[in-house]
Structure 1
Amino acid sequence: MGGEVIDLAPRGHLLDRPHRAADVPALLDAHGLTDHLRGHLLFGLPDLVTVLRSWEQRFGTRVIGLAHDRVTLSVAAPPRTPAEAEHVAAEHFAFSSDTIVQDDAETLSAHAADQVLNSEVWSFWWD
């Protein structure tokens, strides 16, 4: 993300200067590349960017994958205590309930223990 250029010919370049990883969805939207993602979100794209920025600031997350129904983040500083992981699991549920209720964990406590606590990758999807 540090200044590389993604050629979207004939649309032009997507990134021509460093940007925050949390801003990637908005940059893609500016180029008309988020129509499918928009159809899956239960909230607006500005809300997605707000959540991603919050997690970037608190946990050092970076967007490493973005598809029409999925967002994957690397996590530099994941929650290290069960209590903190439970709090973040509630945020994950508000962000993407499908990720929890359709997963093997199926409860916030199980999600916190299996997917949040000390986890270096968070994945979310929407049906």
Structure 2
Amino acid sequence: MDELLVATGGGSSRIGLVSCRRPADAIGVMGWLGAINVRRPAEVSAVLRSWEDRLGAVVVGLGFATIRLLVTRPPQTDDAALQVAAEVAALCPDALWQPAEQPPYQPRDATLEAMSRHLVRESVWRLWFD
């Protein structure tokens, strides 16, 4: 199966086709190094596979150091949202500590609770790796 990814950067986008079994595997297969300061591609793919299964999260965009996910089944309870926020922060600490760096910015505190409220109401999650 082939997965379609949109790579963005510098105001332009490109469409890429990656041969893999699951959307989450595309990052590892293509060797995306955008999180190299934090995680290896295989580690990012493993977390994304879990989110794909549980949350319906699909990679829809990649940038130099960004991932954009379409989430079809976001967490529904406060406890579930807090758990997922902790997972997002563990994978991508910048998503927690530097929310203003990922447009479109919606003001929030740099806390797990604030992030969890954001994750519940957003269908597109943007991760930024410094």
TM-score range, shorter chain: 0.7 to 0.9
Give the distance between the partners of 1:43 and 1:3, measured in 2 at CA.
Answer: 24
In the alignment, structure 1 residue 120 sits paired with structure 2 residue 120:
no
Asked if 1 retains the 8 angstrom alpha-carbon contact of 2:75 and 2:120, the reply is: yes
Give the distance between the partners of 1:124 and 1:72, measured in 2 at CA.
Answer: 6
Give the distance between the partners of 2:4 and 2:59, measured in 1 at CA.
Answer: 16
Q: Who wins on radius of gyration, i.e. which is larger?
A: 1
Q: Percent identity?
A: 32
In structure 2, the residue matched to 1:9 is none
The amino acid of 1:71's aligned partner reads I
Asked if 2 retains the 8 angstrom alpha-carbon contact of 1:79 and 1:118, the reply is: no
Structure 1's consecutive aligned runs of 4 or more residues displaced over 3 angstroms after TM superposition are 2-6, 13-16
Q: RMSD of aligned C-alpha atoms?
A: 2.3
More strand by share: 2
In structure 1, the residue matched to 2:77 is 81
In structure 1, the residue matched to 2:11 is none
In the alignment, structure 1 residue 53 sits paired with structure 2 residue 34:
no
The amino acid of 2:111's aligned partner reads T
TM-score by length of 1: 0.77
In the alignment, structure 1 residue 106 sits paired with structure 2 residue 110:
yes
5+ residue gaps, structure 1 = 7-12
More helix by share: 1
TM-score by length of 2: 0.75
Equivalent runs, 1:61-72 vs 2, <5 Å:
61-72=57-68
SS in 1 for 2:76: coil
5+ residue gaps, structure 2 = 6-15, 100-107
